[in-house]
A and B are shown apart, each in its own frame.
Chain A
Amino acid sequence: MLTATNILSWITFTPLIGAALILLLPGRKVKAIRGVAVLATALSLLFSLVLLSRFDNAGRGITEFQFVAQRDWIQAFSIQYYMGIDGLSLPLVILTTLLSFLCIFASFGIERWVKAYMALFLLLETGMLGVFCSLDLFLFYVFWEVMLLPMYFLIGIWGGPRREYAAIKFFLYTLLGSVLMLLGILALYFASEPHTFNLPQLILTSSQWSGNLIWVPYFWKIVFVLFFIGFAIKVPIFPFHTWLPDAHVEAPTAVSVILAGVLLKMGTYGILRVNYPLFPEAAHWFAYPFLITLGVINIVYGSLCAMAQTDLKKLVAYSSIGHMGFCLIGMAAMTSQGFHGAVLQMWNHGLITGQLFLLVGVVYDRAHHRDLDGFGGLAAAMPIYAGMVSLAFMASLGLPGLAGFVSEALCFLGAWPVFPASTALSVSGVVLGAAYFLWAFQRVFLGPLNPKYEKISEINGRELFTLAPLALLTVLIGVYPMPILNWMTATLNHLQEILGVAGRGM
């Protein structure tokens, strides 16, 4: 059933089929709805693992893809249904299917309008997978928008007290980004000869038609910046980040996991997928001084803001800003280590921050608040939970032996030879990260047990089931990251070639 040309479509659209099935079910059959959702995400995950087993690590990517599906879609504008993956998108596809599967279980606590929730959630998964697989910029844009709408409703309907504000802020902010991106896509379409949305073709032929444009350097820089802002909002990069804490705080647990675990990666993915190979010269112009500076600001400023928070979920949200900063410095350096570190950091951040949000959800479901100063001594009442939290915190603050360290260390290693001073400044992130995580841990878990929570119940089996695979992977990748690094090596080497920095860091 699964062939090289249709497997990506199966992975992407299985959740959509699930959503359609759910719409056919009556809303009161909650168990059946959940069952279909589990099945759809499980199949998608399974298919992605089949994809992984057939993936060729030697594939060069960027302009040459694997498992390509290519059909004409709207011939008048030469728009194609064009899907394919390489070493850059493979890890993110797997991450998406894995997190989506686990998040369905984390969503079992949702009891209001389960039918609509699950249908939207599955639609969201299709959107996310489509973004990572599509190679036609128009298709890319369609999936990008498909992802936006369910997210808006998931936050706006099932969110916390200020959900409407947060949802609108998220929606408008992201829409602003996609509008700019759309402008960029259209600019490329009309500039190219012949007009096309085909990304590999644009990359390969740009040198032939770009000579026809007047103000060539400006054209590339402008289009680069249009795309960059669109992606920067998603990452989010300072100063476009303020939607993130609000969206996270209001979103239900599973949606926060997806938001942090997958959606943020689309920003950094987009920069590597579109900006870097399409505009190599503009990329060099932008990397120094802009991107590296923004990366350092993300790390230092994000960490400082995280330390100032009193809401546990907001703290985790700000920590994400800091952690995505590590990706940025790795990307800015364009070294082999930097690129590997950045892509691995996307993966690891998905794993680790996914755990963090799930864990915040566990305590929120019991205490109905997240105020850091409102707990105290919980480790005595919930030792297993405290253990899981400390594992996730330690992974997030970059303890060697756990996943976060490998990618952070690679980002630092990659950035150092190009930007030593900025890297030295960024390494302060390891101090600040330790400070805010341990301080938060202390306020929630240590000290005398708050009498209010003497009877608080320990983490349950379902919650452990959603956390265990992520925790296990965090340890495994920390000890032996080579398989994942091997997926991406050929692709990232090719990206370096296109950028004209082949062998930097070799």
Chain B
Amino acid sequence: MEWVDTHLWTIPLMPLLGVLVHIFLGGTLGKKLVGILACLLVFISFGLSVVVLLRLLELPAEERHLLDNFLPWIRVGAFSADWAFRADTLSAVMLLVVTGVGFLIHVYSTGYMHDDPKYIRFFAYLNLFTFSMLVLVLASNVFLMFIGWEGVGLCSYLLIGFWFHDLNNATAGMKAFIVNRVGDWSFLCGVLLLFWSLGKYTGTYTVDFYEINRLAPELPAGIALAVGLLLFGGAAGKSAQIPLYVWLPDAMAGPTPVSALIHAATMVTAGVYMIARFSGLYLSAPDAMMVVATVGALTALFSATIALAQNDIKKVLAYSTVSQLGYMFLGVGVGAFSAGIFHLMTHAFFKGLLFLGAGSVIHGLHGEQDLRRMGALKSKMPWTWLTFMAAWLAIAGFPGLSGFFSKDEILWQAFSSEHGHWALWLVGFIAAGLTAFYMTRLVVMTFYGESRWPEHAHPHESPRNMTVPLAVLAVLCVIGGYVGVPAILHGANYFEHWMEPAVTWAAGHGGAEAAEHAAELGSHGLEALLMAASVGVALLGIGIGWWMYSRRRDIPEAAFQRWPNLYRWVLNKYYVDELYQWLVVDNLLRLTRLSGRFDLAVIDGAVNGSAWLTERVSAISGWIDNTFVDGAVNGVAEVTRAAGGRLRLIQTGRVQQYLTFAAAMVAIGVAGIILWPSIQPWLAELWSGAI
């Protein structure tokens, strides 16, 4: 097991090998082998991740971090960022999620993408994504993480626009990348400020996460706050939080396995992971945490309302993802880092499954994505239905399923943590009810009621390589929460204790202590009450949703007709996209056009103008020359003028004129400098008043 201490790099190496093989040998190997190889390599990474987990378990809790520094990367002066991977309890969770869920989605893709002509390229991208994501979670320093951070962004761009013959898909990919880059602007400034401030105030120049977290308490509060906010800007871009969430719903243009892997289970959670990685820093900047928690809570509620009205099955799930990511930020923002990561994990199970199930439905209906043309698919697609049920109950917060434990943990921490507030809890609580409601709406409209698909559609169950991953994820949805059963339910909350060493920092108070703080309040009764409330709101949401969409379809219809403007606002996502288009994009384009025109008219105009002026002056001097000097010798002048006119046509006249001018200038300059020694004493005397 110790072997893995110095071989962490083998984990991302596997999918990287896949990328190279697919690109250079893919055509020779053929589709089948490429598919098998892509899955196999990710599975090997998963195996290695399990080895890492076992290795960490061997070690005492406080020593559970392995550092593998295998190659210098950039070292200049005080700055040093190496190719160094670190596996600790936090990255171990991420490793298992990325490779485990990633492997299942790879397998699923061999079925889903089976008939796509760009099958090989798809797996090259998917492997490249896995590689980047593994670099992201293993990196021991900020700069190395940025390779993974941007790498997953690139893959996201490539895969959203995978079917680029439709320009809308390509545009969605571009939007995702550019919005993320806006976040990166903030992120990079945060990193620069952090690096130099640490050097200035602590004397240690470092970009290593552990060092940063250890030294963060020594930073002045204002700087820690600024860094925290700037870094969160990057997280808001990657993890689609207000105000940078707009790219994620559009990202559904990509193939559905991509939505499951990148835009639900793994990449979009990178922002949450990053905040948890910087837990020591954030604990030193409580105001920044407050902002993180508030933005998270508001995003959770805001996008849940949008999800209520969407009719595209993937759009509902996309807004749901934005909303669930908001929960995760709420968790990490109140200092409950382990709760946030716990929800990240269970969300990877149930949201990954929801997307894959939706993909199975879309596959079975030959590309149909509109909920209004689905219904009654339960008997046609039994496996998809059964597994979807598990994911639905999990995300709705049905007691005993994975989502229930993680969501409840976040809500309780939002209420009780020293960084929490009852208002944050309330917002999350309402969003939980809405989540149960819109997910039930989706389930009823897809699987129950009357069939609304056309006669000739012939929906069919998906092949085995798609349903088996669904089944595995369904099992995880059901049992995945039992690693984090809270004390109040007589559980050991193993997950929280596991996470402790990675998110507890000397000066701050980690998630564990926040829980103790809550325990000190002697509020076991209160915790039970809140838990009952969230179970109640989940059941209420499910119940109303079921009743309304299976029995009383007229109620939502009547509501839409009663408040048509409200409905239109929600349906059109509150017109935020339009606002950005008008406020940012249009103005930026206007500014670029203005710059382009300014460059041509003013800057280049000045250049051409001076050329024109030189030409005029030379023409006048030529005229003087011809009329007065050369006028005496008319015959010669005649010839000269003819030749001159022709020469000017091919424009070489200007060069010569200029050369003469230039030479004269040089001559004057040289003469001035040569003569200077003789003039200088005279000038000096003049200056001093001797003359």
Contacts and interface: CB of A to CB of B under 8 A. Distances in A.
User: Is chain B a partner of chain A in the same complex?
Assistant: yes
Interface of A: 164, 168-169, 171-173, 175-176, 179, 182-183, 186-187, 190, 214, 238-239, 241-243, 301, 304-305, 307-309, 335-337, 340-341, 377, 379-380, 394, 399-401, 405-406, 409-410, 412-413, 416-417, 420, 423-424, 427-428, 430-431, 434-435, 438-439, 442, 445-449, 479-482, 485, 489, 505-506
Describe A's contact surface by its main secondary structure: helix
A307 B655 contact: no
A424 B230 CA distance: 11
Given A446-B170, A447-B165, A400 B150 contact: yes
Contacts of B673: 186-187, 190
A438 B174 contact: yes
A406 to B, nearest CB: 6
Nearest to A310: B596
B680 A214 contact: yes
Interface stretch (B192-200, B403-411, B505-513, B568-576): B192-200
Nearest to B77: A336
B167 A446 contact: yes
Contacts of A481: 73-74
A173 B597 CA distance: 21
Contact of A413 (B174, B195, B592, B676): B195
B564 interface: no
Contacts of A399: 150-151, 154
Nearest to A242: B604
A377 B181 CA distance: 25
Chain B CB within 10 Å, residue with most, of A168, A175, A341, A435: A435
Nearest to A241: B603
Given A308-B596, A434-B178, A505-B78, A171 B669 contact: no
B79 A413 contact: yes
Given A164-B651, A423-B192, A485 B74 contact: yes
A214 B185 CA distance: 49
Contact of A340 (B76, B143, B165): B76
Contacts of A480: 71-73
Contacts of B151: 399-401
B335 interface: no
Nearest to A428: B185
A399 B180 CA distance: 13
A424 to B, nearest CB: 5
A337 B79 contact: yes
B165 A172 contact: no
17 contacts: A168-B655, A172-B658, A175-B659, A175-B662, A241-B603, A305-B599, A308-B592, A308-B596, A394-B154, A400-B150, A413-B79, A430-B184, A434-B181, A435-B588, A442-B167, A446-B170, A480-B73
Nearest to A226: B669
Contacts, number: 176
Interface of B: 71-79, 83, 143, 146-147, 149-151, 154, 157, 161, 164-167, 170-171, 174, 177-178, 181-182, 184-185, 188-189, 192-193, 195-196, 588-589, 591-593, 595-597, 599, 603-604, 606-607, 611, 650-651, 654-655, 658-659, 662, 665-666, 669-670, 673-674, 676, 680, 684
Given A179-B662, A190-B676, A304-B592, A482 B185 contact: no
Chain A CB within 10 Å, residue with most, of B77, B666, B673, B676: B77
B87 to A, nearest CB: 21
A354 B206 CA distance: 35
Contact of B185 (A340, A427, A447, A485): A427
Contacts of A479: 73, 83
A168 B655 CA distance: 8
Describe B's contact surface by its main secondary structure: helix
Nearest to A239: B603
A276 B193 CA distance: 28
Contacts of A428: 185
Nearest to A165: B651
B165 A449 contact: yes
Contact of A409 (B74, B165, B592, B603): B74
A158 to B, nearest CB: 17
B669 A186 contact: yes
B664 to A, nearest CB: 11
B607 A446 contact: no
A323 B319 CA distance: 38
Contacts of B149: 400
Contacts of B165: 377, 380, 446-449
A312 B188 CA distance: 29
Given A242-B603, A413-B79, A434-B178, A420 B193 contact: yes
A304 B192 CA distance: 24
Contact of A442 (B77, B170, B650): B170
Nearest to B207: A413
Nearest to B184: A430
A454 to B, nearest CB: 13
A412 B589 CA distance: 26
A210 to B, nearest CB: 15
Contacts of A335: 77
Nearest to A183: B669
Given A190-B674, A430-B181, A442-B174, A505 B684 contact: no
B143 A409 contact: yes
A366 to B, nearest CB: 20
Contacts of A183: 666, 669
Contact of A175 (B79, B167, B658): B658
A412 B599 contact: no
Given A173-B607, A182-B666, A413-B192, 18 more contacts: A179-B665, A214-B680, A242-B603, A242-B604, A304-B591, A305-B595, A377-B165, A409-B74, A424-B189, A430-B184, A431-B182, A447-B164, A447-B170, A480-B72, A481-B73, A482-B74, A505-B76, A505-B79
A285 B668 CA distance: 28
Contact of A401 (B150, B171, B606, B674): B150
B591 A435 contact: no
Contacts of B166: 447-448
A243 B608 CA distance: 10
Given A214-B680, A427-B188, A410 B76 contact: yes
A218 to B, nearest CB: 14
Given A309-B596, A434-B177, A505 B77 contact: yes
Given A179-B666, A183-B669, A431-B178, A214 B684 contact: yes
Nearest to A436: B592
Chain A CB within 10 Å, residue with most, of B74, B185, B193, B591: B74
A68 B670 CA distance: 30
B591 A406 contact: no
A169 B670 contact: no
Nearest to B182: A431
Contacts of B73: 479-482
Nearest to B132: A401
Given A179-B662, A242-B603, A431-B178, A412 B192 contact: yes
B676 to A, nearest CB: 7
Contacts of B676: 190
